[in-house]
Structure 1
C-alpha cells in the first residue's frame, strides 16, 4: 500500500502541470520566442531548478536527521514537511532573504502590467498560462518568454515593413489600474511573521489576485503606471534601508549548505535572470537604453521594468 498518496499525488501533479503549461504556450504562441530570450529562459530553468532540486534533496536529508521512522519514504517526507509551504517560509524568514524574495513579488506586478499592455498588440494568447508557469517554475521564465515572443513579433513585422498586426491595447482606467495599484502593496503582506496563521493566506492571495489584470485585458492608464513605478521604487528603497546592505549582501554571498539556503538561492537566481531579460529587452530598444542603469537588483527591478511601458 502506498503511504500518503495525497501528498505524492500533489507532488506529481505539480510536474504534470508544468508540462501542460509548456504545451499550451508552445501551441498558442504567435511566433517562436527570439533566440536571446530562449537562451535566457534555458539559463533560468537550469539555475533556479538546480537550487530547487538541491533544496528538495537537502530538505529530505534534514528531515531524516530530525525524525525517527522505520522507513524514510518520500510520502512520509512530503506529508510531514509540507514542502512548498516550507520553501516560502524559508525564503521570508530573515530580513535579507525577505528583501530578495520581494524583488520577485514586485517583478510579478511589473510583468503583469507588461503582459496586459502588450498582449493584444503582439497577439499573445492564454496569458494565464505564462503567469502560472512563472509561479510554478520561475518568474524569469515567464518574463523571458513574453519578452521573447514580443521581440520576435517585432522582428517579423520589421522584415515585412509593417507594424505588429495585433490591436492597439485598450485602456482600462478603473479596474486594471486599481488592481495593479493594490498589487504594488502586495509584497508587504510578506512582512507578517512567517509563523503567523495569516502568512500563507496572504501569500496565496498575491498569487491569485495577480491573474485579475490578465483576465480584464487592455492596458493600465498612464497615471497608474507612473504611480506604481514611484510606489515600487519607494517601497524597495524603504525596505532596503530597513534591511541594511550587509544583510542583503550576506544573503547573496553565503554558500548554500542547508535547505533554507538552497531555497533562497533559487529566488536570487530568479531575480538575476529576470534582470538579464529586462537588460536584453532594453538593449534592443535604443530609446530605452538609459533604463539599463536600473537593471540591477540592488536598485530594484520594479522601476526599470515598469517604465518600459511608458517609453
Structure 2
C-alpha cells in the first residue's frame, strides 16, 4: 500500500534516500557541467512523466551542489551520494538547513496529503531564504511537483523566481509543463527527461529488489511506459489485472459486460484504493487520447475530435468526483459507459 504520510509507493525508495539513478546520464552530465561553468541557471524545470526519476535527479544534484559549494571547484560529473557524508545524511533525513522540499502538505486529521501545494507552503520558501546560512552555502528549493501548486501558490513562487536571492537554486519538477503558468516556465531553464528504456527500467527495478525475468517481467516492462512508479503499481497493486479487466470491458458484448463493469468498479472504489484508482484514471485517459491520435492519423477528424473532447471531459469529471467526494463507483461506471458508447 502507499505510505500515507510520504505518498511513497510500496517497494519504492524515497528520492532523498535513493543512491542510484538509471537512464538519465545526459541530464546528469548537463547539470554537472552547467554548474561547474559558474553560469548555471537559478531555476531548472525538470520535465517528464511521473515516476521516471525527476525527484531523484533533483536530490542528487542538490547533494552535488551542497557538497561542492564553489562551482569552479566541483567535479565534472555527479557521483552517487556518499552515505557517510553529513550532507547526504541530512538530505535523507530532511534535516538539511540548506534545502527545502516543497510538496503537498499532510492533513493532520486524515493523515493524507492535501490536494494542492498551498500558498502557506510557498511562504516557507520566503522564510527559508530570509534566514542566514551558517555555512554560506547554497539555498535550494525543490518544488515537487509544481503541477500541485494552486493558483495563489503559483503566483507566490513566481515572485521569488522573478527576484531570486543570491546563491539560490530552484529545482522545479513537473509531469505536465503545459499546465504551468507560462510566466513560471519562462523563468526556468527546461530540462526534459524521457521515459526509461527497457534496460534502465529493469536496472532501476532490480535496485529496488525486483527481478523481472521471464514473460511476466517482459509484460510489466512493456506496460510500464518507462516509469518505475507505473511498474510498481503493476507489480504491487494489481495493475496488470486492472488493465486486463479494463480491456475485457471495452471488448465485451452482451449482459455479461455489465457484471464485469461492476466488478471492476467495486475494486477501484474499495477502501484504501487511491493508488490503483489513480492508475486506472491514467489508464483511461491515456487510452482515450490514443484513440484520438489513431483516428487523426487515419484521417478521421470527426472521430479524433470526439475522442479528444471525451478525454477532456473525463479529466474534468474525475477532478470533480475527487473534489466533491462523489460516489466513485458510479463515476467509474458512467465513464466506462461513455467510452463504450464512443467506441
Q: Could you say whether these structures have the same fold, taking a TM-score greater than 0.5 normalized by the shorter chain as the test?
A: no
Instruction: Give the TM-score taking structure 2 as reference length.
Output: 0.26
**Could you say which structure has the larger radius of gyration?**
2
